[in-house]
Chain A
Amino acid sequence: MVELVDVINIGLFAATLRMATPITYGALGGIFSERAGIVNIGLEGMMLTGAFTGVVASQWSGNAWFGVLAAIAVGGLLGLLHGVITVGFAGNQVVSGTGINIFALGFTGYMSSVVWGSRGGSIGDVPGLPEVSIPFLKDIPIIGGIIGDHTPLVYLMIIITVVSYIVLFKTPLGLRIRAVGERPDAADTAGINVYRTKYLCVILSGMLAGLGGAFLSLGHLNLFAWGMTGGRGFIALAAMIFGKWMPFGALGASLMFGFADALQMRLQALSLLPPQIILTIPYILTVAILAGVVGRAIPPSNYKPYVKE
């Protein structure tokens, strides 16, 4: 089977890690928001706006890292907007998230026309993030080929996953965040500032989503294309649920979905299996786990807006 070797090789696993990176960033963003009791289905829009902003800022400044910072900042701004609507004014979280998604698609398309004169995406060279080789690591056979050469944002993703776990489960701040999500009234009585904690988490959520978007546009393709997130924000939500709102769980789920994505692209090139069928896998798995068919995912909050008595 010559074809099978073409599909399943070291390159596939390296691509898996690459595909999993933006999903993990989004999923971690989702975890911070939902652990504090705010549903964030606006992740998709926050990622898309991050991808767009990253390219504009990188092109303008000539420095990809400036683009990454700008993407994080704009993601945070959208997170703040979600916070103002859902925390500040106790608005509906799903409606606000939907609004942000539609806004992002319209805004990035509109601004693409304004900036590049083309609705389809960026025109001209975009300074992208360089790939770094990790010494020693890249010399290990097989493993080196998979994790040895990537843009720094891939390694940062793994670091942030670890940090997220520590913050959420090993620090007083994490305890506060989870308390605010699980029992806002009790948290308030215990002297925790519920609103401030929620704002912090939803802004952090947007920043992480923006970072994921920057990886898509600057860490991989070095361009912006209309709607380039292509549902990855929703896959990130799926990864968050599949990982049971735990950072390492989300990373694992993202790797699984990233593998499906990488596999789908290779199979498409060989026209072995229709890509659409593989693309449905993350969604079907998420529905299955929510229904308790495979394991059981129980949300960490009831997501009701908290209104102080």
Chain B
Amino acid sequence: MANLTEPERKTSLVRRLLRGFLGELKASVPKIVPQIIAILLAFAVGAITLWLTGYSPLEVYGAMLTGAFGDAFGIGQTLTQATPIIFTALAFLFANKCGLFNIGAEGQLLIGAFTAALVGISFSGLPFFIHIPLALAAGALGGAAWGFIPAVLKAQRGAHEVITTMMLSYVALYLTSYLVNYPFKAPGWVAQTVSIAPSAELPRILQPTQLSASIFIAVSLAFLTQYTLCRTTIGYEVRAIGFNPSAAESGGISIKKGIILALTISGAIAGLGGAGEVLGVQRRFVEGFSPGYGWDGLAVALVGGLNPFGILLASVLFGALRSGGMTMNRVMHVPLDIVSILQALVILFVAAPMLIRYLLKRGGIKWWNS
């Protein structure tokens, strides 16, 4: 927590961040073991599924691994897939630190993607250093608005955010579908907008893959999230509410304000992720461009141990599953759905840390925090 002594205040920001990072890393070692076991268990159950249905698990996993990391193209595609998940996972994390369960990142991402696309197609002739930030800001704002609604309903009316964010996610899905099928539909058969202006395009950084500069924003945001949560008043208040709401209120923190702030910022992060997809990868809003990045975010945040740096690692795993899965599907004709099965198994095993501890105990393995 923000328990700084005098000399520490004087050290540079970079060193403090770095120290925070290393400290987090050290503290997360015992925490990371259950996650790794969950991943291993998921792959084990996945292997049984593959074996029972007549595929060789080793060959399938091998094809996924080479597809995801075998060459520069594979790595590029893995990181491309990981990028939006970093945003949605950070979005989930930020709200979660306030004790909130934002499962509507999908909707916030879609709205953010659409508002960013709108700014991307509406202006032309702007210099890129104005157009790109403007479109990104629009995306963040759109996502923030979609987080603000359940935030206010929670703070003012007590409406449970799990249900409201989920329901609003579906509203966002149908709303954006309506917008790209009717008022903003580009000529042709596909439900999509016209292309954004070149001045709003985020540069691709590893041609011919679709990896864009959006990943730099995502990684910076992970550091910024860590900094905000651990080193700013807002972050302190948010975490205090998440830790113990009544104690926080006795300490003079406004719970309502904290909830509204946390969920709105959470929405803004997801919206920024949607903007990154539109400006960097799709270059327009295409209906159904997200294969469920919002839900991936929830999984990655949990697998990442609810820690921004853990999220960066876990997002690479989930990105690799998606990109490696595509290669595996092409080479071995194994249904791509095995990827969803693996992701779901990871989520199910991560859902119950007590289950992992129980299995460890049954296996006779002693772990220091069990």
Contacts and interface: CB of A to CB of B under 8 A. Distances in A.
- The yes or no verdict on A and B being binding partners is yes
A113 interface: yes
A89 B354 contact: yes
A85 interface: yes
Nearest to B353: A91
Interface string B309-335: 000000000000000000000000001
A231 B164 CA distance: 15
B174 A291 contact: no
A105 to B, nearest CB: 6
Contact of A95 (B150, B157, B335, B347): B347
Contacts of A186: none
A91 B170 contact: no
A241 interface: yes
Contacts of B162: 39, 41, 94
Interface in A75-91: 81, 84-86, 88-91
B170 A234 contact: yes
Interface stretch (A21-29, A134-142, A279-287): A279-287
Interface string B151-178: 0010001011011101110110011011
A107 to B, nearest CB: 6
B295 A102 contact: yes
Chief secondary structure at chain A's binding surface: helix
A5 interface: no
A191 interface: no
A107 B337 contact: yes
Contact of A91 (B298, B344, B355): B355
A287 B168 contact: yes
B205 interface: no
Most buried by A among B54, B171, B350: B171
A299 B160 CA distance: 9
B159 A291 contact: yes
A100 B351 CA distance: 11
B352 A90 contact: yes
B101 interface: yes
A221 to B, nearest CB: 21
A84 B358 CA distance: 12
B337 A91 contact: no
Given A96-B348, A110-B335, A287 B159 contact: yes
Interface residues of B, number: 50
A290 to B, nearest CB: 4
A85 B354 CA distance: 9
Interface string B224-245: 0000000000000000000000
Interface string A230-259: 010010011001000000000000000000
Contact of A99 (B101, B177, B337, B347): B347
Contact of B177 (A88, A102, A231, A276): A276
A86 B351 CA distance: 8
B181 A106 contact: no
Most buried by B among A41, A92, A238: A92
B163 A110 contact: no
Given A103-B344, A290-B160, A291-B157, A95 B302 contact: yes
A106 B295 contact: no
B182 interface: yes
B170 A283 contact: yes
Contacts of B358: 89
B341 A103 contact: yes
A284 B338 CA distance: 34
Contacts of A291: 153, 157, 159, 164
Interface string A111-146: 101100001000000000000000000000000000
B103 interface: yes
B345 to A, nearest CB: 7
B343 A274 contact: no
B178 A106 contact: no
B230 to A, nearest CB: 24
20 contacts: A95-B351, A98-B103, A99-B299, A99-B344, A99-B347, A102-B343, A104-B344, A105-B340, A109-B340, A113-B337, A234-B166, A237-B163, A237-B166, A277-B178, A280-B175, A283-B171, A284-B167, A291-B157, A291-B164, A299-B160
